[in-house]
Structure 1
């Protein structure tokens, strides 16, 4: 197995472990909404520390339900991942194209002593 394949498999296992371990270990079982997110946790902590706290501003759009809010967040994450994948794919494609162009422009080495007589033009690099 190639080294890069092993590294990819180890990374995939690490990601799977990060997703499954909190559920398997029961982390968050003591909470009403175990994996609600950082925004909800921060709001709860602020309310406990300062019950009279007034937010500086309100959201521009308040989704009608938590499911729609989750869907919008997932859509945002998917668009971001798509933009990153496009950028890295474009960079890789350009690098490969430059390598191919460089390979085409390099002079081909002809074997020495081609037996063609005294023709000096045969040993010159092509332009």
Structure 2
């Protein structure tokens, strides 16, 4: 339990430190940076495809990203918990 709390503390510290050390910085995604590099290398580059739907605002895009992350984390948590439960149930049955 103590090890988990230490690991969670380290993750929180790693996530918060950039906000204090990089004051005024813009924390954008990698997509925009990649697009800039591509246009510098090959200015006449044409994308292979375009999005079929563009979210109406950045807030909705962030919401959809958060929902996707929550669903993924829920699935992973369920999968890990289910397998741990199966393992514990199997150990309990073999000790009886």
Fold shared, TM-score > 0.5 on shorter chain: yes
RMSD across aligned C-alpha pairs, in angstroms? 1.5
Q: Is the 8 A contact 1:28 1:35 kept in 2?
A: no
Partner of residue 72, structure 1:
64
Summarize the alignment of residues 1-127 of structure 1 with structure 2, pairs less than 5 Å apart. Answer: 5-26=1-22, 29=25, 34-104=26-96
Q: CA deviation at 1:12?
A: 1.2
Aligned length: 96
Which deviates the most, 10-19 or 75-84? 10-19
Larger Rg: 1
- Structure 1 unaligned spans of 5+: 105-127
SS of match in other structure, 2:31: helix
Distance 1:62 1:90 in 2: 37
Higher RCO, Cα 8 Å, sep 6+: 1
**Distance in 2 between the 1:70 and 1:45 partners?**
24
State the 4+ residue runs in structure 1 displaced beyond 6 angstroms: none
Q: Which residue of 2 aligns with 1:113?
A: none
Supply the distance in 2 between the matched residues of 1:68 and 1:28 (Cα, whole angstroms).
Answer: 24
Structure 2 residues not aligned, in runs of 5+: none
TM-score normalised by structure 1 residue count: 0.69
